[in-house]
Chains A and B, each alone.
Chain A
Amino acid sequence: MKKDLFAIVVIVALVALVASGTKVQSVDDYYLTHIDDITEDSQTVTISIRCDTILDNLDKLDDSLKSDKYVPADGVILPTFRAVLRKGDTVYDIFSRVTRYSKIVTDCVYTVNYSSVYVKGINHLYEFSCGELSGWMYRVNGVFPGYGCSKYVLKGGDVIEWVYTCDLGRDVGGEFGTAPSVENDRVQQKTDTYTFFYDKIAVVSPPKAAWQRCV
């Protein structure tokens, strides 16, 4: 019977551990966020999210997404937004802060293979939603970096653009593999601190975008 008691204690401890790592929020609580005010001496970056390429490939788009709600008529999901840059912010930090503030839905997964966050979907537009070569890419100051968005540390004045590609990046001018591979100083070296508790368990073989699989 001693063993039984011990087993119960272990199970309770495990449940408590899982529960302590779980944060449940109502929808209103989640969107109750504050964004830093822009002051005179604060460094800023700008971010925009666009999906123009879908407008040229509407025939490939999933039927369930053919609506102004998901693909705006002008292709702009987030007009250029100026946000305060905190020290050490990566593209993903700014991206998640701004989308949460603007109530734009995103679906990101921590990908163990690349030790970075991969953006699967923005505003219900997912990878593969518009043909099998489609997905989200980002560029900073007009250059596609070719590595994960939570590894790219920003400097003041950087211009981040998230664009949707329907053709492995060719239609937005950044075919994968042709990107000037790495300016190493911009890659965050330390172990990534973003913890997606559930996704880490779920991602056994992390989902890859079409352009990642082609390499």
Chain B
Amino acid sequence: MNEKRYFLRIHPLPAFVFFVAALTVTMLSMHPVVLVASFVCAVVFCGFLYGVKKTASSLAYTFPLMVLVVLVNMAFVHRGETYLFFLNDNPVTQEALLYGVAMSVMFAAIYYWCKCMTAVMTTDKWIFLFGKILPKFSMLLALSVAFVPKFKRRYKQIDSAQRTLGVYSGQGVVDKLRYKFRVFGILVTDVLENSVTTADSMRARGFGLAGRSTYSPCDFTAADGLLTAFCLAFSVLGTTMFALGGCRIAYYPTVTPPTFAAKDIVCLTAACAVFVMPIICEIKDDLLWHSLKSKI
């Protein structure tokens, strides 16, 4: 992960508000432009946070999943009036195909926003935001957010320990798979036990007791305030316009071609403003860094 990134340095509040706004707006509308904009921006932002190589390789396993979503939708949903063929006396329709594509893009966009959120909203930030108001919830959230990287780390450790014990057998795919399952089983037990221990230890230290204060390294600057206001304003604008009937599209029984009336355009612009915001921030930060560097 790229530690220099602007979004990793900002106050947790604007970061949290941004991700809530981006996820809400993405899930709001099935309008293809909103979905594609969200997907592209999420992937680009992910590229900034994780590096281009890692993001590109993650696309390689996201695409098969997207195709799977499309296929499942076509197999199970029989709505729509353009029939492609009949499968077990049930129609497979073009509308189900298109809806599946839209849905898969939405899923992928949400996946990438959440991936970015994992990078930006580290556990200390969750605790900082919610530790006072909802101590139990924030603790649970922090623990579960920390799970994935912890899983990865522990997996490597258990794997090498098992290998040195000589349990590993490398003959054939089935044996390899069984070995992997074995390691995974150990991993789950280990991590679950670990989380219980963590919770007990936190309680023993008096987490969530009234009157305790915590050190916070975060300053709420004017720029943070501006970002928060920006995200709030545009997501509320987008949501209101959607509620008033902007960016609506029906997929069944026929796909209505997306409209671009004034309402739709305001809704689209607001949504895109939210999605593009982090990318602009990162680019601006890069430019600033380069200009400062050249002066030295």
Q: A interface vs B, CB < 8 Å?
A: 1, 3-4, 6-7, 21-27, 29-30, 62-65, 70, 105, 107, 121, 124, 126, 196-199, 202
Q: Contact between A65 and B253 (Cβ–Cβ < 8 Å)?
A: yes
B170 shortest CB reach to chain A, Å? 12
Contacts of B256 in A (CB 8 A): 64
Number of interface residues of B (CB under 8 A): 24
Q: Contact between B175 and A3 (Cβ–Cβ < 8 Å)?
A: yes
Contacts of B76 in A (CB 8 A): 198-199, 202
Q: Contact between B88 and A1 (Cβ–Cβ < 8 Å)?
A: no
B1 at the A interface (CB under 8 A)? no
Q: Contact between A23 and B88 (Cβ–Cβ < 8 Å)?
A: yes
Quick one: given A7-B174, A29-B86, A198-B87, are A64 and B254 in contact (CB under 8 Å)?
A: yes
A6-B175 Cα distance, complex, nearest whole Å: 12
Q: Whose C-beta in chain A lies nearest to the C-beta of B93?
A: A105
Q: Per-residue CB proximity of B77-91 to A under 8 Å, as 1/0? A: 011010111111111
Q: Contact between B174 and A4 (Cβ–Cβ < 8 Å)?
A: yes
A197-B88 Cα distance, complex, nearest whole Å: 7
Q: B interface vs A, CB < 8 Å?
A: 75-76, 78-79, 81, 83-91, 171-175, 250, 252-254, 256
Q: Contact between A4 and B173 (Cβ–Cβ < 8 Å)?
A: yes
Interface centre among B81, B89, B254 (most CB of A within 10 A): B89
A102 shortest CB reach to chain B, Å? 15
A37-B143 Cα distance, complex, nearest whole Å: 70
Q: Contact between B79 and A124 (Cβ–Cβ < 8 Å)?
A: yes
A105-B263 Cα distance, complex, nearest whole Å: 35
B189 shortest CB reach to chain A, Å? 26
- Of B171, B172, B250, which one neighbours A64 at CB under 8 angstroms? B250
A-B pairs, 6 with minimum CB distance:
A64-B250, A124-B253, A3-B174, A25-B86, A30-B86, A4-B172
A189 shortest CB reach to chain B, Å? 25
A70-B175 Cα distance, complex, nearest whole Å: 57
Q: Contact between A64 and B81 (Cβ–Cβ < 8 Å)?
A: no
Q: Contact between B173 and A7 (Cβ–Cβ < 8 Å)?
A: yes
A215 shortest CB reach to chain B, Å? 26
A30-B75 Cα distance, complex, nearest whole Å: 17
List 30 A-B residue pairs with CB atoms under 8 Å apart, sorted by A's residue number: A1-B171, A4-B174, A6-B174, A22-B87, A22-B88, A23-B87, A23-B88, A24-B86, A25-B85, A25-B89, A27-B84, A27-B85, A27-B91, A29-B86, A30-B86, A30-B91, A64-B254, A64-B256, A105-B91, A107-B78, A121-B79, A124-B81, A126-B79, A196-B88, A197-B88, A198-B75, A198-B76, A198-B87, A199-B76, A202-B76
Q: Contact between B79 and A24 (Cβ–Cβ < 8 Å)?
A: no
Contacts of A107 in B (CB 8 A): 78-79
Q: Contact between A24 and B253 (Cβ–Cβ < 8 Å)?
A: no
A105-B79 Cα distance, complex, nearest whole Å: 9
A84 shortest CB reach to chain B, Å? 20
Q: Whose C-beta in chain B lies nearest to the C-beta of A25?
A: B86
Contacts of A105 in B (CB 8 A): 81, 91
- Of B81, B172, B250, which one neighbours A3 at CB under 8 angstroms? B172
Q: Contact between B90 and A27 (Cβ–Cβ < 8 Å)?
A: no
- Of B86, B172, B252, B254, which one neighbours A27 at CB under 8 angstroms? B86
Quick one: given A4-B173, A107-B79, A126-B79, are A23 and B89 in contact (CB under 8 Å)?
A: yes
A26-B91 Cα distance, complex, nearest whole Å: 9
Contacts of A121 in B (CB 8 A): 79
Contacts of A23 in B (CB 8 A): 86-89
Q: Whose C-beta in chain A lies nearest to the C-beta of B245?
A: A63
A6 shortest CB reach to chain B, Å? 8
Q: Contact between A198 and B88 (Cβ–Cβ < 8 Å)?
A: yes
Contacts of A7 in B (CB 8 A): 173-174
Q: Contact between B89 and A30 (Cβ–Cβ < 8 Å)?
A: yes
Q: Contact between B250 and A62 (Cβ–Cβ < 8 Å)?
A: yes
Contacts of B175 in A (CB 8 A): 3
- Of A25, A30, A64, A197, which one neighbours B252 at CB under 8 angstroms? A64
Apart from the given pairs A4-B173, A23-B89, 10 other A-B contacts in the complex at a CB distance below 8 Å: A1-B171, A3-B172, A3-B174, A6-B174, A7-B174, A23-B86, A107-B78, A196-B88, A198-B75, A202-B76
A18 shortest CB reach to chain B, Å? 11
Contacts of B252 in A (CB 8 A): 64, 124
